[in-house]
């Protein structure tokens, strides 16, 4: 099975298109129906949406698994491979989706903390935050698709796999031992470029990103916030995309699991925005997870005949995240300690 793609692009291009259309439809309904009017999203509403996105992801995972059971059994190319087991391959692919989804969801929590800092820095009112995050995540989906496409090409080379693995190990160790730096937008070169080269209004103009004054176009602070949110997600994608490729080499699984994790990011933001300090040990758990995934890419996969058991990987990832959350609740951060 090593080196054989379960979902070659030539056979599954229609799946990518159908899935993308499905996601676009969900986003249009979300913005055009449920959030057409700007309003502050409460914790209860956000929790309901968070549950909806999680359940939808799990339903997709199950339906995807059932489809794979049928598709693999009727794929002459795969069935001709010596020792190929359609049921085992479908089960492994389904677990890979779940593991990728869990890893991306966990990494998103650190992303959310940065969103909190950025939105607070630019003093974005609560009723406009959903619009900024919606468009920010729409852009994130595009950038993730580009990164995943590049990763799918590069991951074919073993030296790239090792390089990704070493990068994840270094990133994980850094999260464990290096104090997290504060987000300071005013020191960001892109932020300074926007301030210097674009006319920016001093105040917000409702939920508008661009306004016209005396025949001249101005961008609003909301536009600058959106750009910074996009840049933040690009930075996080540098960690998350290699991490999921460390779990599966299948671009279709990477793409779908990544997209589903991102779709629920806005709702999770409004649930966790006021309680981020309660999960101070999660950063260390994420560091361990990244180091483990990097170790898989560098050594463990080869040591286990080309693929470390995905069930064991998922159990380790879930256990580490669960322990870090429990420890955060049992040993809260001292009030005087800064984040």
Which one-letter DSSP state was computed for residue 63? H
Q: What's the rounded mean pLDDT across residues 72-101?
A: 93
* Tokens standing for residue 224: 């600058």
Residue-wise pLDDT for 239-283, tens only, equals: 788 888 889 989 999 999 999 988 888 788 877 776 666 777 888
- Would you state the pLDDT for residue 15? 95
Q: Where are the domains of the chain?
A: 9-330
Lowest mean pLDDT segment, chosen from 2-6, 12-16, 45-49? 2-6
- Would you state the pLDDT for residue 339? 47
- Would you state the pLDDT for residue 241? 85
Residue-wise pLDDT for 92-121, tens only, equals: 999 999 999 999 888 877 777 777 777 877
Flag whether the pTM goes above 0.95: no
- Would you state the pLDDT for residue 219? 81
- Would you state the pLDDT for residue 286? 86
Q: What's the rounded mean pLDDT across residues 280-304?
A: 87
From CA 190, how far away is CA 103, in angstroms rounded?
A: 29
Residue-wise pLDDT for 44-69, tens only, equals: 888 888 899 999 999 999 999 999 99
- Would you state the pLDDT for residue 254? 93
- N- to C-terminal Cα separation, the chain: 46
Lowest mean pLDDT segment, chosen from 161-170, 201-210, 330-339? 330-339
Q: What's the rounded mean pLDDT across residues 220-248?
A: 82
- Kindly report the three-state secondary structure assignment for every residue of 8-28: CHHHHHHHHHHHHHHHHHHHH
From CA 57, how far away is CA 227, in angstroms rounded?
A: 28
* Element spanning 211, H or E: strand 210-213
Output the DSSP codes for 121-178: HTT--HHHHHHHHHHHHHHHHHHHHHHHHHHHHHTTSHHHHHHHHHHHHHHHHHHHHS
Lowest mean pLDDT segment, chosen from 67-71, 123-127, 177-181? 177-181
Q: What's the rounded mean pLDDT across residues 292-309?
A: 85
8 Å CB contact between 267 and 137:
no
From CA 175, how far away is CA 169, in angstroms rounded?
A: 10
- Average pLDDT of the chain to the nearest whole number: 83
If one compares 190 and 173, the residue with the highest pLDDT of the two is 173
- Would you state the pLDDT for residue 181? 58
**Residue in the block written with tokens 């599954």:** 12
From CA 135, how far away is CA 143, in angstroms rounded?
A: 12
């Amino acid at each position: 099975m090593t080196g054989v793609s379960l979902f070659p692009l030539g056979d599954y291009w229609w799946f990518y298109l159908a899935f993308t259309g499905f996601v676009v439809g969900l986003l249009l309904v979300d913005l055009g129906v449920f959030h057409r009017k700007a309003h502050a999203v409460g914790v209860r509403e956000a929790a309901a949406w968070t549950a909806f996105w999680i359940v939808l992801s799990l339903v997709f995972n199950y339906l995807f698994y059932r489809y794979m059971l049928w598709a693999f059994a009727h794929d002459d190319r795969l069935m001709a491979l010596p020792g190929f087991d359609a049921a085992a391959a479908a089960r492994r692919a389904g677990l890979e989706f779940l593991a990728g989804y869990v890893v991306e969801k966990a990494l998103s929590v650190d992303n959310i903390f940065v969103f909190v800092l950025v939105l607070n820095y630019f003093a974005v009112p609560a009723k406009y935050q959903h619009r900024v995050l919606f468009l920010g995540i729409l852009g994130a989906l595009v950038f993730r698709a580009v990164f995943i496409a590049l990763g799918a090409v590069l991951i074919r080379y073993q030296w790239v796999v090792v390089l990704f693995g070493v990068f994840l190990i270094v990133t994980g160790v850094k999260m464990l031992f290096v104090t997290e730096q504060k987000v300071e937008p005013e020191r960001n070169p892109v932020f300074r470029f926007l301030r210097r080269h674009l006319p920016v209004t001093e105040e917000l103009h409702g939920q508008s990103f661009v306004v016209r004054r005396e025949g001249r176009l101005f961008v609003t602070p909301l536009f600058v916030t959106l750009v910074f949110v996009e840049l933040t997600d690009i930075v996080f994608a540098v960690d998350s995309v290699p991490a999921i490729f460390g779990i599966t080499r299948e671009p279709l699984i990477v793409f779908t699991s990544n997209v589903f994790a991102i779709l629920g990011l806005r709702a999770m933001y409004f649930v966790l925005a006021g309680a981020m300090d309660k999960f101070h040990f999660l950063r260390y758990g994420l560091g361990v997870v990244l180091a483990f995934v990097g170790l898989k890419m560098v050594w463990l996969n080869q040591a286990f005949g080309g693929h470390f058991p995905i069930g064991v990987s998922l159990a380790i990832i879930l256990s580490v995240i669960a322990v870090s959350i429990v420890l955060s609740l049992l040993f809260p951060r001292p009030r005087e300690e800064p984040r």
